[in-house]
Amino acid sequence: MNTTDANAVKALSAMNAALLTAPEVGTGFTKSPPVAQDTNQKLPCGGSSASALYPNALRAELIAAKGDSVQFQESLRLDLDAATSIKAFDTTVAGLNCSKGSIAGTPVTIGAPHDVTASVGGSKAVAWEVTIAGASGVLVAVHSGSTSIGYTFLVATGTDAATLPNPLTVAKKATAKVIAGGLG
């Protein structure tokens, strides 16, 4: 996709404005630098990523951390049409449909998927509990219109989670902001 096209620039601006800010994630969160996306990376349960299979999309991302113990990531994807967007969403959901997988070579344990559409919003939303190398957390995938959104909320082992925001509450707030921004 030509990201210098006037319409693409306008869409990217709207996407970045629709992302949560670090303070909106929770008290004490600060913005972290983005990580370059590796479209060759396989999904945790195997198979090619939605980015590799459906590359013609605009993307925006927020990574926010609270010290070294908590990380939140919001990945927003805008496809040219709703049909491609649902294919990308379904690819992501299928790529998390196993109990043991790996992310960039690191083993990950993935819980059963839960439909969280009523709690998070969007036309479809699924969540998984995960455990990976010294951390545990929640992954949430949301689909709405031509938009799909991924949320990752990881907490280092030994961190007092009682003082942290609820991952589904953060995902709901973020999804509402994306939809209010005219992207879903």
- What CATH number should be reported for the domain holding residue 161? 3.40.1000.70
Considering the domain boundaries, does residue 161 fall inside one? yes
- Which range of residues forms the domain containing residue 102? 6-33+40-180
The per-residue b/e assignment along 85-124, b for 16 or more CB within 10 angstroms, e otherwise, is bbbbbebbbebbbeeebeeeeeebebeeeeebbebbbbbb
Q: Are 63 and 33 in contact (CB under 8 A)?
A: yes
The pLDDT value recorded for residue 134 is: 93
In a domain, 1, yes or no: no
Instruction: Record the pTM.
Output: 0.94
Mean pLDDT, all residues of the chain: 93
Per-residue confidence in pLDDT tens, the chain, 184 aa: 556 678 888 999 999 999 999 999 999 999 998 887 776 778 999 989 999 999 989 999 999 999 999 999 999 999 999 999 999 999 999 999 999 999 888 999 999 999 999 999 999 999 999 999 999 999 999 999 999 999 999 999 999 888 899 999 999 999 999 999 988 7
pLDDT value for 104: 82
Q: How many domains are contained in the chain?
A: 1
Output the pLDDT for position 173. 98
Residue 19 lies in a domain: yes
Residue 135 covered by a domain: yes
